[in-house]
Structure 1
């Protein structure tokens, strides 16, 4: 039997107050059981097995997904043009900022000249000899007083001009940030729209193939016992003991408890475990430095999570029972400072061909500290944040929170100005409400005896 799930995962990083945020939503799940129904297991009811969409319905869904993707592509192009305009030297706010800066520099120079005039006037007064006439001394004192008045006026003008220049520059920067934020959202929307098209195409292709293989309905095995995998809220995974911060060069042990509250015995339960990480900019994937291994009381030797990111350690799980699995997160000494997360989920399948999966992933966020003596990256400006959207299909665990986030990427080299590229690279997550990376993760387990 195969259990498949495509998970669209958005990882966001807020640079100065790092927090990795994950949104996991099942795009679709399908099964093709290899085993026949077992007389010991029950039969799935209509409530457990949702009705399959028809080929016509799937064709309509694909057309809508393609339409949405086309619109997203156009919106991304417009957002890119807006970025180019925002970083251009001829952008109105940039022109205004440059003019304000020039005025501030000129006012500062005038203040410097006025201060020098005060010094010169004071020197002239101090160097008057006893032979100087009263008129000469009065003139020197007046020159000093006039110089001080002019210096005070110049200082006020310089202070005002500097404040106006800083405000104008801030407006110009905000416009660039807003443009990059909009581009990041548009890029993320395009990726999500493309993922929806891919999922719709796969679902349609699968439905057509099943229709060709089974023109009269049924399941292809002649037993009528095959159905879709279902979301099973009663199968839960809870992570315990994962700290909010780990250090490069160390290992951390924590655990996951899988509980069967489905109201039925489960013939085989599998645990899905994955770890992701980015550096503090959110632009670099550093998951290769992080490794997960597992062990249980019956199998105390530490073992690698398999290539499909599954842990086959529980086996059968009776209704109301629970099982614990130890997990060890090893962080390579070369790992740079950043943020990471784990997400844990559960799947089951029974001998009668029924199967299910946890609708939510248990998400745990943690900071990654560089090894002692390794310089931390320079901080970047703190970005603004957005409120979480409702119904994102995530069960947050541990110290962090789960918030959907936009995904950004560096602008491609398509002739854009150096300022565009430098701003995209240097600002990173800060210019796009926490920029991140999109992961498409396939959950798959093959073979009842695997």
Structure 2
């Protein structure tokens, strides 16, 4: 496990909200080991969660399939409500036809009555009047029948349509439930895969801790104390193994953070840090974990130089920045450790077009965290890790950044005491 993997987030939080770090016990102290062990689920727990998510997804898929079949049935013409609607429609059509015929009979009877001449007998006139009266009565009955048939037809059509709408709504809800279950399943699978990957990466001999190594040093030279927006500056990072033993793999670490002059607005997206080395001459962007390629090996007393390049976008406002560097080592025998502190090199950002004149190189923070009371922390230790924030002596414009730098140094000092290669199912 790379010791400072979590520090990028911690440093960012420190720069933007340094008060947060002041209110937190420094450096991952295990004052409550039992409670802390519950913060992160075990592989077994994640496997159970993934299995449950898979079962929920399978159930959702089955429910969606059933809902679709029900929708197809509801949309057919053979359901009881569909058959009733068809029958009611037929009755309504017949009633409309009958009313039309009855209305025409009234028209015909009225025409026959009107066509009688003065020579018509009383019997003929009486018969015509009776025929008109009967036709009018029949037309009234047909109209009433049509009104009743239309109402029943509308009711039957509504009942059939309501059934279909409800089936469609149920299917839509089933699809949404399936989508949600799939998202949960993917999240559970990803969490399990990540945990297994971390377990494989962090796996090692039980109880073996990474330790601080003050003779593994990282020093920056050539980084200007003021960098103008819209320019690129190159500087050097030297990693030195000052011990009498070869380190099989050394991972240089670098992180840059910047804010505007208020210290409240994060402008990280406008600053870019790259590196190259003798073994990898092409400029590489510092990755999301802020580690560079391993130096493998770094012999006793030897050093390796890494070229660094800092680019600040022309759109960046005037502000403040800090570059943190450190190094971690891992040996083939499973031993590991790293520099006790994060070195913070503060610089100012000048607006594009500014002529800063001659500027000195950025200097590392001069006060290290007080680690005199720190002891390597094992899985059973409950001793708190205490540290003091660095005092950088920066100008008021960079006070928040300086405070954050000191907080980050405190974090870095403690991190190496608690990060370890863990066996499966345990937590640092």
TM-score past 0.5 threshold: no
Work out which of the two has the higher radius of gyration on C-alpha atoms and give 1 or 2: 2
**More strand by proportion, 1 or 2?**
1
**More helix by proportion, 1 or 2?**
2
User: Please, what TM-score do these two structures have when normalized by structure 1?
Assistant: 0.41
User: Please, what TM-score do these two structures have when normalized by structure 2?
Assistant: 0.43
